[in-house]
Amino acid sequence: QIFLWLKEIRGDWFIPFHGVNGKTMDILHCFMECCEARERDVSLLIEDMKHQKAEHEAATKEMQDIFEDLGLSTTSLSREASGCLSSLAKSAVILETKDTSLTCLFCAINNMTSELFEIKQKINKMQWKLDITKKKLASALMLKKQLVEDTENVEECQAKEYVNRENRSQILRYLRDKSLELRIRIKNAERDLIAHRLDKSLTHKALTQFS
């Protein structure tokens, strides 16, 4: 079936057999079905256009007969009448009516008016949503600005606190080092005093206890 379809399309064009396998055949089969479906749709569209053409020709013939019965023709109309007829035809085309009868024209105008009203309602609804979105966006921007300011303040406070902590840490390190130095000096002084055979009863502690 696929080879017959290819032959119908390509005629005597050579069809290579070396690439024929299950996968290529499945692809060609899907492509063939898509092409045939498209051809059917095009054929139906052509038939519909032919039908519409026949209807328009019949309507034109009917109008010509009416003009002839009235002793008129499109070439014998006045400029004003030709303008009105042209406007009527353009209106029917724009409104996409079946014919130019008042019923069809008024129905089409009413439909377009209803569609216009619905479009205006949708636009008003969209505008309302847009206004709400703008308000929410403005609130979000204000909140963002406030958060940025708060973050900057917190960072500034943290920076100051860090500096204070560093200062206190340096002071504590200094005091610790100084305390260690004094303890060492005291021990050294005690060793020197012991080396010089100081009487322990004369120490500050002993004197305090004695007092």
Q: Does the pLDDT of residue 65 top 80, yes or no?
A: no
Which one has a higher pLDDT value, 24 or 178?
A: 178
Task: Name the pTM for this structure.
Answer: 0.36
Whether the per-residue pLDDT at 14 is higher than 60: the answer is no
Q: How far is residue 120's CA from residue 126's CA, in Å, rounded to a whole number? A: 10
**What is the mean predicted confidence (pLDDT) over 178-186?**
90
Report the C-alpha gap between 69 and 61 in whole angstroms: 12
Q: What share of the chain is helix, strand, coil (3-state, %, to 5)?
A: 85, 0, 15
Burial 17-49 (b: 16+ CB within 10 A, else e): eeeeeeeeeeebeeebeeeeeeeeeeeeeeeee
* pLDDT one-digit tens code per residue, 111-153: 888 888 999 999 999 999 999 999 999 999 999 999 999 999 9
Beta carbons within 10 angstroms of residue 109's beta carbon = 13
Could you identify the residue written with the tokens 């008016």? 113
Q: Which two tokens stand for residue 34?
A: 């898509």
Give yes or no for residue 2 having a pLDDT over 90: no
DSSP per-residue string spanning 153-176 = HHHHHHHHHHHHHHHHHHHHHHHH
Dist CA 190 CA 63 (whole Å): 137
- Per-chain mean pLDDT for the chain: 81
Q: What are 67-105's pLDDT values in tens digits?
A: 666 666 656 666 776 777 777 777 777 777 776 677 777
If residue 26 lies in a helix (H) or strand (E), which one and from where to where? helix 22-69
CA dihedral 21, 27, 28, 29 (to 10 degrees): 100
Q: How far apart are CA 174 and CA 151, in angstroms?
A: 34
Contact 100, 92 (CB under 8 A): yes
